[in-house]
Structure 1
């Protein structure tokens, strides 16, 4: 009885203890749930209190009592609470499992606490039961790659080599991502070489390589790898499934490749069998199962009882998933074709997809459209868009933006606007700016205003480029009378001020170009007063205009003022420019020298040239033209002649416009001697006359009643208009005489059309002059240099070379200039 009672008491005690243990387990699970709920609710203090209670009230704890907490820290990337939990686990001297290490390092990596992750890895390394665990190293390596920290990556790889955990496809994929980030194509090839030497990459891994080659623009490698993937897909012999996150996962046994420094790289068959056994155990620990020791699964090796589906269903699912992967890889290569403008390969890929039964996706068609657009232009790209429309596919907004911009650049405004209307979401005003630029090129401010209105309705914020183009658009003058129309000027001023106010309202500060276009717009419209007001606003410390001052801006204002003959204002602005510290450039000095021609002040012009040389700018042809213009206007032809010769000695090549100005003024004053001197100088400088020179010389002689000389000079100058080479005139004499001496009136039209089409209007004028001389009965001489008029000009020129006056200010100045340039 006592024994029986003792036995009964023992049985009751055991049941009580079992119940107590069960209650204890439930309580610990509840503790984890409460802690997780507190963390999800954002109650960190309460979670910390519950964690301390868990540690104090339960003297015996295991890793399982913290799994849910660690999982939560991993999912929500809460490394701080994880470290708090881990500290408690260490204080309680809990035997930490492999899964806890994995979750902890994963949470630290997701939170960016790589130093703490490395410290935990070193602790784990000393634990012989968990040190061989490649997924942990892959997580750490992935975090280092994601942060683009090369130092951490090398540290992780060194740790992996030291632990001899090897590498698998996940490891290589992380290295591929790093190589793509570094734009290191040789590294990708090295990874490919290492992988293919150790084992045959899976279909999923081939896709990673195709992505890498495409990103790094290695079209040949991407294409060859794609063809290898096509062969593998249609040969079969693979299996994969989807993870919980919806990603493709390879179910083939991914045996880690030995480290390069591992002496056991070449193993015997027996050693490989042992290595396989270790790998299987490692996958079982992760909840994965490997049913074969071969590198590749064969669909026939999968047992029916392992999966509750038929073989045909497996093949169908395998085919669908494989085709999806293949379609993605085609799309990757197609995107690279778009970037590389390789439309030929893009078209080849599209045909291959269709022949394989792969229906190109919207993404693939968009990439193909971009490849065609970049290589062939928008016309062919529009044809691809039409094909997409037939398949009920709408191009991406980014593709529509590129199409619209391309049409704008080709000045096809209607097409550009139609693509703009199809865009759903705008990331900025870029396509509208391209449209405004086209409006500016075509001088269509009305279309630009419509585009701006559309931007306002779509709530698209204009940027500085938008305003630069708007000011440029309103700076154009469509008809000559607009500049002098007071009503038009008032409207223009309101428009320009409205744009500036809108710019200020949107917080866009003026750039150099926007301010320049604004001032140019006001100057073009004749709004000089408003232009000066805006310039003064820019000179003052007003934030909206503060950063827009510069030499080019002052040049814009000075040019407008000089053109408007507002010389006093130009001189005042020039002085203010100097006082503000803005350095004049060659254009500034040229504008101000031109201002001196208006006020007829040669001395000031020479002073400006002197300062121009001191600042390191060499006088050009337009500098001499302006100075000579001043002298000619004051009828100082002798000094103009000496200055012209000095310029020639200074390396300046005069043009016909310079001579035309002198001859015109001399003709107005009846100075035949000056005309003959400069005409001979022009001939010696090998400058061909134009119709204006012929007209001025002819009327100068006619006004002086030298009719015969007028005809003779007209003939000589006409011959020189055709060519300065007598041999050329001899070759063309028969052809031209037929046109000149023929009495049919149609020949005049023939002469005009013959040379105007070739852009040689002076030839037409010269032949028509010679034809007119022939009609008047004057003989035509084709040896212009043997003309008595030409000989007389040459002889008089040699006798009439004017000696430079050493006391002349201009001669002293230009002698100094020549000396400095030669030095």
Structure 2
């Protein structure tokens, strides 16, 4: 007898010997080369032979279908087997289920398992159910797993360790901690613990955030190591315990041992019962050096030690990473010391979790120190490790360091470290450097998230520098930028978030684009109506504030009423904006009504509230009422800021009321409110306009000292000589240029004070460095103190 193999369009004769085996090989070869019609033809040829066929004659074909996977040809093979009434055996049944599961046909695999058990001569065995449960775990299909478990109970198949491993993985994917605890209880009732089973449960507990349980099991694993019961052998690439799998006694007293190892100059004693259900940890401070030495893992030399050490390190890494998730720095440090005491060298993966756990407290400096330690140990940090440390650098505004670390990253699938750097540049008002960050994200093909777009609106929405008003050109540019970011946001599948919407409105308001801002607000309101949610108080506050800055008081009132009508509650900021609006329209009654509403809604008036009320009273010239408000703030222990006092000083200066100015200056001194350049301007100019030039210079001198002397008088006296020689009395033509440089370093008060004192030195006989030397300061203290 002869058979035929398929090659192109020709059939080649094969020898008669081992016909069925050769045909299986030829069918598999045809499938590998994509010749499916030929494979089907050869399958039919196999069935047409004059020899009896069994399931064994299809094993190679079905095995290929399982691994490829090729569930379609697998079912085709099963179909022709049914036509020939060839009974399945356990191997062919497993291969078919594997092919269906690996091909993603869980429904078909489930139906097949049910059907085969009912109608065929062979019922599915436990490995078939286990494989199906493993596929359910991979696809996170709890429904199919439940149906399978029901069927297993009906057919009384039983369970083994592989079953529990699959169920454990499925429970972790479903974030079901109670299920993991149930599996643990069932497991310890039926099986003795070993390093591999402990490893799986430690992994599960860490993934679900149960750090306590994971730590207890890890210490049980350490106890096994210290007792020398961690012998492993390798078989087929898998680890197995050489210890006999004999169930331990149920009595907790039997088989209980006590072990000790050193952690951070303490002795940690572990008492582990036979089942490992109770791990008691006791720490004492009388550790001896010999205890630390005896804590090394008691396993044989050679390849087995490498394998055992690797598994133990994996579990330590799992718990340390869980410490990183929960920011449990103390436990992470303890585990790292324990690893060193056990002779386990930390890996790059260990440091990845450890840095997450401990660097947040010490900030970027601690993270950089650990990176240097890794370098000394010839360990290359993961990209995720570099990203973590970079994020801490960004939070500390160490932007050069953060950017340097991000440049070392080769692959990254998340945007958060780049977002942190963008946020730092946003806070530092350096949008030009943010462009490089975006270019780096594009180079690494990192998809921006919503936080990225929120920051982009904040960084690039505003065109003008701070304190500059918008113009026609900047407003056009602003619109182009916002539209471009919105288009990119839509291309990436994102809609506006509350933060991004607020950033857009803030940018438009800063540019003075009132109409465009209102249009964006109305669009947002329409969208919020469709989803039955109001925009949120912070969003309306931004619009109200921008409108107030633009002096659009009628629109402010209109938006406020619209906000209240749609059910959006006002907060303290809202009420303060509206009270400030009343100061512009000179309506003290409306302001008082708003204060009543504010208190009724549970918000206490603050300094900004009283400042707005003072503005209204000052516009009416009611200085007596203003001073009464000052007394009220003192009674209510409300600490006014320099802006509040400057509001009164400005009006008093306009009216030429020196007595009010002097009273307010002394009040500020008593309340320890330091003056600012605006305060100095009002006081000095008022004296000058009244003809009191010597008093003006002395007052300017004293107020400038108060600007310098914010907290520590002794510090000022120590710096007196340096300030005089370098800035105030210096004859260097670049002296004033050096002072102005301080403005660029955001030290406005220091620069203004030094310029004032330099001017006083030019106009007056001497510089006063102590208020005790000032007759003006003493006079105000005596008069109003």
TM range (shorter): 0.5 to 0.7
Secondary structure, counterpart of 1:426 in structure 2: coil
Give how far 1:364 is off. Answer: 2.5
Secondary structure, counterpart of 1:239 in structure 2: strand
Q: Which residue of 1 aligns with 2:313?
A: 327
- Among 307, 323, 331, the alignment partner of 1:337 is 323
- Among 250, 259, 269, the alignment partner of 2:240 is 250
Q: Which residue of 1 aligns with 2:724?
A: none
Q: Which residue of 2 aligns with 1:94?
A: 86
> How high is the TM-score relative to the length of structure 1?
0.61
Secondary structure, counterpart of 1:483 in structure 2: coil
Give how far 1:170 is off. Answer: 1.6
Give how far 1:558 is off. Answer: 3.8
Structure 1 segment 46-125 matched on structure 2, within 5 A = 47-48=39-40, 50-52=42-44, 54-55=46-47, 60-114=52-106, 116-122=108-114, 125=117
Give how far 1:398 is off. Answer: 0.8
Q: Tell whether 2:485 aligns with 1:503.
A: yes
Q: Tell whether 2:468 aligns with 1:483.
A: yes
Separation (CA, whole Å) in 2 of partners of 1:360 and 1:627: 64
Give how far 1:396 is off. Answer: 0.7
Q: Which residue of 2 aligns with 1:222?
A: 217
State whether residues 137 and 156 of structure 1, in contact with CA within 8 Å, keep that contact through their aligned partners in structure 2: yes
Q: Which residue of 1 aligns with 2:165?
A: 173
How much is the aligned-residue C-alpha RMSD, in angstroms?
Answer: 6.0
Structure 1 segment 186-335 matched on structure 2, within 5 A = 187-188=179-180, 191-215=183-207, 216-217=210-211, 218-231=213-226, 234-235=228-229, 238-242=232-236, 247-250=237-240, 316-335=302-321
State whether residues 621 and 652 of structure 1, in contact with CA within 8 Å, keep that contact through their aligned partners in structure 2: no
Secondary structure, counterpart of 1:411 in structure 2: coil
* Structure 1 residue runs without a partner (length 5+): 1-14, 17-21, 258-264, 266-313, 705-738, 740-745, 750-755, 757-764, 791-823
Q: Tell whether 2:377 aligns with 1:394.
A: no
Separation (CA, whole Å) in 1 of partners of 2:186 and 2:672: 76
- The structure-2 alpha-carbon separation of the partners of 1:545 and 1:118, relative to structure 1 and needing over 3 Å to count, comes to closer
- Among 434, 438, 445, the alignment partner of 1:448 is 434
- The structure-2 alpha-carbon separation of the partners of 1:577 and 1:66, relative to structure 1 and needing over 3 Å to count, comes to farther
Q: Which residue of 2 aligns with 1:283?
A: none
Separation (CA, whole Å) in 1 of partners of 2:30 and 2:486: 50
Separation (CA, whole Å) in 2 of partners of 1:109 and 1:493: 59
Bigger mean CA deviation after superposition, 426-435 or 589-598 = 589-598
Q: Which residue of 2 aligns with 1:817?
A: none
Separation (CA, whole Å) in 2 of partners of 1:59 and 1:453: 69
State whether residues 496 and 518 of structure 1, in contact with CA within 8 Å, keep that contact through their aligned partners in structure 2: no
Q: Which has the larger radius of gyration?
A: 1
Separation (CA, whole Å) in 1 of partners of 2:439 and 2:316: 41
State whether residues 226 and 330 of structure 1, in contact with CA within 8 Å, keep that contact through their aligned partners in structure 2: no
Q: Which residue of 2 aligns with 1:366?
A: 352
- The structure-2 alpha-carbon separation of the partners of 1:571 and 1:24, relative to structure 1 and needing over 3 Å to count, comes to farther
- The structure-2 alpha-carbon separation of the partners of 1:373 and 1:551, relative to structure 1 and needing over 3 Å to count, comes to closer
State whether residues 464 and 474 of structure 2, in contact with CA within 8 Å, keep that contact through their aligned partners in structure 1: no
Q: Tell whether 2:554 aligns with 1:571.
A: yes
Separation (CA, whole Å) in 1 of partners of 2:481 and 2:121: 73
- The structure-2 alpha-carbon separation of the partners of 1:41 and 1:229, relative to structure 1 and needing over 3 Å to count, comes to farther
Separation (CA, whole Å) in 1 of partners of 2:309 and 2:592: 81
State whether residues 516 and 553 of structure 1, in contact with CA within 8 Å, keep that contact through their aligned partners in structure 2: yes
* Structure 2 residue runs without a partner (length 5+): 3-13, 251-299, 691-712, 721-748, 750-767
- The structure-2 alpha-carbon separation of the partners of 1:222 and 1:406, relative to structure 1 and needing over 3 Å to count, comes to farther
Secondary structure, counterpart of 2:235 in structure 1: strand
Task: Name the structure with the higher strand share.
Answer: 2
Give how far 1:416 is off. Answer: 1.2
Aligned length: 641
Structure 1 segment 282-681 matched on structure 2, within 5 A = 316-354=302-340, 356-374=342-360, 376-455=362-441, 458=444, 460-473=446-459, 483=468, 496-497=478-479, 499-504=481-486, 506-508=488-490, 510-521=496-507, 523-524=509-510, 527-528=511-512, 530=513, 532-533=515-516, 535-536=518-519, 539=522, 552-553=538-539, 555-563=541-549, 566-567=550-551, 569-572=552-555, 575=558, 585=570, 587=573, 590-600=576-586, 626=612, 629-630=615-616, 632-635=618-621
Separation (CA, whole Å) in 1 of partners of 2:778 and 2:658: 27
Separation (CA, whole Å) in 1 of partners of 2:93 and 2:17: 22
Separation (CA, whole Å) in 2 of partners of 1:347 and 1:330: 12
Deviations 1:738-758 (A, max 9, x none): x9xxxxxx9xx9xxxxxx9xx
Secondary structure, counterpart of 1:93 in structure 2: coil
Separation (CA, whole Å) in 2 of partners of 1:615 and 1:208: 55
Give how far 1:248 is off. Answer: 0.9
Separation (CA, whole Å) in 1 of partners of 2:603 and 2:374: 59
State whether residues 593 and 608 of structure 1, in contact with CA within 8 Å, keep that contact through their aligned partners in structure 2: yes
Deviations 1:125-146 (A, max 9, x none): 5699855843223223323333
Separation (CA, whole Å) in 1 of partners of 2:59 and 2:778: 114
Separation (CA, whole Å) in 2 of partners of 1:64 and 1:773: 111
State whether residues 32 and 68 of structure 1, in contact with CA within 8 Å, keep that contact through their aligned partners in structure 2: yes
Deviations 1:191-215 (A, max 9, x none): 4455445443344333323323433
Separation (CA, whole Å) in 1 of partners of 2:343 and 2:456: 51
State whether residues 231 and 243 of structure 2, in contact with CA within 8 Å, keep that contact through their aligned partners in structure 1: no
- The structure-2 alpha-carbon separation of the partners of 1:254 and 1:502, relative to structure 1 and needing over 3 Å to count, comes to farther
- The structure-2 alpha-carbon separation of the partners of 1:432 and 1:769, relative to structure 1 and needing over 3 Å to count, comes to same
- The structure-2 alpha-carbon separation of the partners of 1:617 and 1:58, relative to structure 1 and needing over 3 Å to count, comes to farther
Secondary structure, counterpart of 1:240 in structure 2: strand
Give how far 1:435 is off. Answer: 1.2
Separation (CA, whole Å) in 2 of partners of 1:175 and 1:399: 32
- The structure-2 alpha-carbon separation of the partners of 1:342 and 1:226, relative to structure 1 and needing over 3 Å to count, comes to farther
Separation (CA, whole Å) in 1 of partners of 2:338 and 2:624: 82
- The structure-2 alpha-carbon separation of the partners of 1:668 and 1:142, relative to structure 1 and needing over 3 Å to count, comes to closer
> How high is the TM-score relative to the length of structure 2?
0.63
State whether residues 523 and 531 of structure 1, in contact with CA within 8 Å, keep that contact through their aligned partners in structure 2: yes
Q: Which residue of 1 aligns with 2:745?
A: none
Separation (CA, whole Å) in 1 of partners of 2:199 and 2:596: 71
Deviations 1:772-794 (A, max 9, x none): 48977x9x98xx9xxxx99xxxx
- The structure-2 alpha-carbon separation of the partners of 1:49 and 1:609, relative to structure 1 and needing over 3 Å to count, comes to farther
Q: Which residue of 2 aligns with 1:36?
A: 28
Deviations 1:281-320 (A, max 9, x none): xxxxxxxxxxxxxxxxxxxxxxxxxxxxxxxxx9844344
Separation (CA, whole Å) in 2 of partners of 1:237 and 1:319: 8
Deviations 1:511-547 (A, max 9, x none): 44334334434554xx32x454354366469999999
Separation (CA, whole Å) in 2 of partners of 1:616 and 1:251: 67
Separation (CA, whole Å) in 2 of partners of 1:125 and 1:361: 49
Separation (CA, whole Å) in 2 of partners of 1:689 and 1:229: 66
Give how far 1:403 is off. Answer: 0.5
State whether residues 544 and 577 of structure 2, in contact with CA within 8 Å, keep that contact through their aligned partners in structure 1: yes
Separation (CA, whole Å) in 1 of partners of 2:105 and 2:343: 47
Deviations 1:473-530 (A, max 9, x none): 46889988x626x8xx678657645643541452446544334334434554xx32x4
Separation (CA, whole Å) in 2 of partners of 1:256 and 1:134: 22
Separation (CA, whole Å) in 1 of partners of 2:200 and 2:647: 73
Secondary structure, counterpart of 2:192 in structure 1: coil
